[in-house]
Structure 1
Amino acid sequence: MADDHEAKMPDGALVGARFPSDKLRARFADEEPVKVAHHRRRDAVGRVGARFPAQQTTDEPVRAPVPSVRKPEPAPPPEYIELPDSGPRVRPYVLTRGRTKPKLHLAIEAMISTRVDAPWAASRLSGEFHSVRSICERPRSVAEIAANLAVPLGVARVLLGDMAELGLVNVHETSTTVEGRPALAMMERVLRGLQRL
């Protein structure tokens, strides 16, 4: 029975496809077939079908070859230079046992010199005291001493105050002008000392 039904149906009726009728096919059979130019599609899948016509693209320009980039040679490791040790490295305020205020008020322009008759051979004197002794063979300002010792100004004041209390250094009056200001030459020395800090 199914075979009888299929025999009465025209070609293509079972698949549901819409093909032109015999009359249309005969009409178009006389015309020359149209040659379709083949163009590249943008990608392998592209848009196809009646709703999305295939997009046509022109040939992409040929790119010039890019020269290879050589990796730079690695820099040699930095050379280790061992400098002569200038003594133990400690935090500055360890030298003053944490004290930040001197026992004696010392202005940055105050001149300090070592005393020749001081008890320099005493075993309790620290290395910093001996450093100040060599720096202050001629009078120096507190700022210059701090710069030469490479310590903050506050640490230098505490050390110098301790030394003055022990009688190791002399604190000189600051030379002043008629107006009561410190002398210009001495202030220039103080400024140079501060710049080296």
Structure 2
Amino acid sequence: MKHDDTSWFDEDAPLLRSYAVTRGRTVGAGHELDILTLVVIADHPPRLRYTEPEYTDILNLCRTPQSVAEVSAHLKLPLAVSKILVADLIGDGYLDSRAPIQTDVGPNDVNLLRAVLDGIRRL
């Protein structure tokens, strides 16, 4: 473990950083987001009022549609943190979102389930 003044920031205490980024919040601005929810920058977003660099990074990334999971992976943030930040941006009109398409098709085919189970066993 390092003992200089910045050793705790990212490598040794990533939870502290997450807590700071979300300002201690555990939920976003009232938007329930699935990891597959697609987000894209709004047509005419207002001027950015957030000073945290993560918000700017999300907006730059979302110039093309991204899922919440992709945002999280690209920014190397925990999924829960990404959901909070993305929900903030949606709530303030910076991002537009679209819930994942729900289908009634499920893995009801027994042969498909057996093939998946066989694949798992081979691992």
TM-score w.r.t. structure 1 length?
A: 0.42
In the alignment, which of 78, 82, 92 is matched to residue 166 of structure 1? 92
SS at match of 2:97: strand
Q: 5+ unaligned residues in a row in structure 2: which ranges?
A: 1-8, 11-15, 107-123
Q: Deviations over 1:8-63 (max 9, x none)?
A: xxxxxxxxxxxxxxxxxxxxxxxxxxxxxxxxxxxxxxxxxxxxxxxxxxxxxxxx
* CA drift at 1:125: 4.2
RMSD: 2.1
Shift of 1:148: 0.7
Superposition deviation, residue 94 in structure 1: 0.7
Partners of 1:118 and 1:180 in 2: CA distance: 36
**1:7-156 correspondence to structure 2 within 5 Å:** 91-102=17-28, 103-119=30-46, 121-156=47-82
- Give distance in 1, aligned partners of 2:43 and 2:60: 12
Max Rg structure: 1
Show structure 1 runs of 4+ deviating over 4 A. none
Structure 2 counterpart of 1:152, one-letter code: P
* Per-residue CA distance 1:89-118 (angstroms, 9 max, x = gap): 571221110111223110111111111300
Point out which structure has higher relative CO (alpha carbons under 8 A, 6+ apart): 2
| Cα distance, 1:124–1:152 mapped onto 2, change above 3 Å | closer
Percent of aligned pairs sharing the same letter: 28
TM-score (norm 2): 0.65
More helix by share: 2
- How many residue pairs match? The answer is 92
